[in-house]
């Protein structure tokens, strides 16, 4: 059972190409009512029914939390991924009826902060679109530093600069522009909270530097949805359900468990929230952990796995499901 993920019946109200890689999708409720309230940083899980296959991918809501007539998400096309973003880009047209989850926020603002310092990389800009709208509406103090590959791939950079002027700082990789991170982190007033969303390498770099420069962990917030990685098929025994299943090359372990009719809890499907954490009863082989939830110790122990993003290679794996 998908904890907290009550479903919403929506219709695609608009599809807007933003640049060569990113397309924006607008959803409204089919019954015409307002959508549930959300806060900046929230995501929804979009169900993609593609023939006999259903994919469930999380996307950050990027519209203003002050306007719940529609939800908007921006999807970056990934030509070598498992096909979710390609499905959205190719098959989702205005008028299509879809199902999405209620919004869930695993990357919320800490509103006790005196200042919000935001660092975005690439498509990691989307949660900040909602957060900056939320803060601007309430007179909040924020500063956004946004790194993109080129100006044409700087999704919403123009919108953000127009809205917030010099509170937005842009860095273009192709112009060799780099954030002077240590200086930035060392010059923030006491009471600042740091938010980072982008590629894993960027998040790790920012977290490492913040920790080394004395930022307490409670003031550093990050979100990185790991897309489930494809890999060699493997067999898994679900002990409680008393069944053995095969995880396909393009399938996540969680999706395979669901396809067998077992309904484990989930929220983010990206290795972040911890909901689908599953105990390992026995194994003979090696885990490929891709999550950001379990500790390194948990990873080494071989006693736990996050089936939404992690895989297994070896002879046998028995899970408590």
Partner 1 sequence: MAAKTIISRPIYGTLSPQPGKHHLFIADAEGALAITDMAGKAPPGFFDGAEIDFIPGPEGKHIAALEALKPAQLHLSPSFASLLPRLKQTLTNAHMGLRLYLAGTEGLIGQAMQVALEAGMDHTSMQTEHRGSLARRMQCVHCKGITENVTTQPALCSHCGLLLLVRDHYSRRLAAFQGVCINAEDRSEIPPMEETFP
Give residues in contact with partner 1 (CB under 8 A): 112-114, 185-192, 194, 211-219
Distance in angstroms (rounded) separating the CA atoms of residues 289 and 311: 7
C-beta of 44 vs 135, nearer to partner 1: 135
- Complex with partner 1: residue 156 or 215, whichever CB lies closer: 215
Asked whether 252 and 226 are in contact (CB, 8 A), the reply is no
Number of other CB atoms surrounding residue 60 within 10 Å: 27
Give the nearer residue to partner 1 in terms of CB position, either 133 or 188. 188
Report in angstroms how near the CB of residue 115 gets to partner 1 at its nearest: 8
Which CB sits closer to partner 1, 80 or 190?
Answer: 190
Give min distance, CB of 217 to partner 1, in A.
8
To partner 1, the closest distance from the beta carbon of 189 in angstroms equals 6
Residue 170 class from Cβ within 10 Å (0-12 exposed, 13-18 middle, 19+ buried)?
Answer: middle
Phi, then psi, of 32 in degrees rounded to 5: 80, -5
Contact of 56 with 83, CB cutoff 8 Å? no
Round to whole Å and give the CA distance between 294 and 281.
17
Least Å from the CB of residue 214 to partner 1: 2
Q: How far is the CB of 179 from partner 1 (least distance, A)?
A: 16
321/318 Cα distance (integer angstroms) = 9
Pick 57 or 192: Cβ nearer partner 1: 192
């Amino acid at each position: 059972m998908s904890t907290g993920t009550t479903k919403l019946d929506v219709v695609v109200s608009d599809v807007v190409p933003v640049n060569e890689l990113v397309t924006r999708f607008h959803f409204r409720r089919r019954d015409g009512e307002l959508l549930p309230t959300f806060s900046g940083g929230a995501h929804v899980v979009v169900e993609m029914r593609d023939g006999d296959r259903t994919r469930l991918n999380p996307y950050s809501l990027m519209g203003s939390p002050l306007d719940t007539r529609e939800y908007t998400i921006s999807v970056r096309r990934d030509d070598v991924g498992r096909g979710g973003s390609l499905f959205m880009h190719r098959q989702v047209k205005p008028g299509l009826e879809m199902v999405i989850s209620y919004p869930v926020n695993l990357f919320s603002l800490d509103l006790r902060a005196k200042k919000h310092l935001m660092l975005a990389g690439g498509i990691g800009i989307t949660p900040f679109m909602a957060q900056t709208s939320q803060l601007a509406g309430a007179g909040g103090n924020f500063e956004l530093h946004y790194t993109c590959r080129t100006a044409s791939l700087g999704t919403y950079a123009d919108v953000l600069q127009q809205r917030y002027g010099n509170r937005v700082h842009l860095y273009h990789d192709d112009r060799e522009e780099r954030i002077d991170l240590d200086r930035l982190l060392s010059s923030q007033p006491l009471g600042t909270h740091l938010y980072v969303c982008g590629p894993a390498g960027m998040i790790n770099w920012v977290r490492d530097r913040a920790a080394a420069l004395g930022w307490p962990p409670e003031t550093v917030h990050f979100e990185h949805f790991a897309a489930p990685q494809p890999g060699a098929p493997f067999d898994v025994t679900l002990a409680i359900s008393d069944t053995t299943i095969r995880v396909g090359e393009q399938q996540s372990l969680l999706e395979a468990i669901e396809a067998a009719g077992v309904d484990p809890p989930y929220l983010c499907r990206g290795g972040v929230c911890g909901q689908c954490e599953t105990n390992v009863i026995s194994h003979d082989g090696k885990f490929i952990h891709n999550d950001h939830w379990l500790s390194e110790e948990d990873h080494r122990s071989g006693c736990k796995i996050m089936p939404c993003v992690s895989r297994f290679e070896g002879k046998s794996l028995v899970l408590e499901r």
